[in-house]
Structure 1
């Protein structure tokens, strides 16, 4: 939270002795303060100068740990949690890192401590609509990848570029998706000689196969038509011989690979 103002922030330690929080370099109004959810030493301060200060209020003396200055207008709110309704989760193969996404279009990476079970929030990415599906793949052009179905008529393909789960947009595909919980998935068997495909449901009642390594102008390599309602569920058998799809009326179709 942003840098504090001239009147300074006051806090109370465990012995209820009042002390002054650290002097801040800016002199604008601080509109919001918020403690971290699992760490009483960390206080976030949002300022009208557009900065966010993270303060260590239990240090002697208290200090500003770091300042975030990406905002151009007053900071009036903030939170250290994902917020919204979590709609989808994807986990890497080791189980130590996962991504959670909500109905606000926010995707956050987390790391789990296998020894103590602690959870660390890492990186954040925002897309233009509610995220209804996340799918992880271990290898795509030498990087693991995350496939994201978002309710802004988009299917996003992100590269995972580091050990903190940072996402870098590789491609975006148009898929009719604004209202329902449309799902997508990587094809289990990736052949770079024949193309790398993903499959997505759609609110136009079709199932789309898209080549994510081919030409961006014509990504659709196959379209299955059998549903009469928005298709929301897609799932492959491990050997890609069968594909199951479901729609909003409860109809499930099993497609056999010819």
Structure 2
């Protein structure tokens, strides 16, 4: 059986390696079950749909809504690869789960709108399943409300035409959706433990997600948060696909 793959879209090597480990641990997979492919340095291979049975996409300091003229060649290449993956997953050619930055690329590729109107502060937030989420194969076993971790400057303003809203909250109305049976996307991060998230915060403390002086207070809230539910999505994804 072909393995799953983690697609790295973080230029920072240390943060990317830690994120891979978070995904692998949450999915209960070994290195052979979850391969790595670095989209920052290598384009998505043409045979991705047969090389891997599915993909998970992590976060990034990139923002899809940045003006195209300001994007580096690296960012444009990453977004081209993720858009290709999104179209293939929406067509049922492969399975994919996009998170954080990835949800924006998938949303735009499939005809939805990405906006700066729904940023969320770094740290824990409360997520609520929609009725459709409560009956979804991946989300349905979760508690109807749960805590997850966020840190983003943009969000989905309008869903793609075929998308089914699975989770929401007041700060960012689109927290998760599904397109068809094989494309999933979350605005929140389903993979990190609290400790892993605080280590990631340290890498990006000067990137405008939070005031540098607030690091200790935010980290304390993250470490106190109960994060039992989000990793179950990843485990279900690994088992289903």
Q: TM-score of the superposition, structure 1-length normalised?
A: 0.25
* Larger CA Rg, structure 1 vs 2: 1
TM-score, normalised to structure 2, is: 0.26
More helix by share: 2
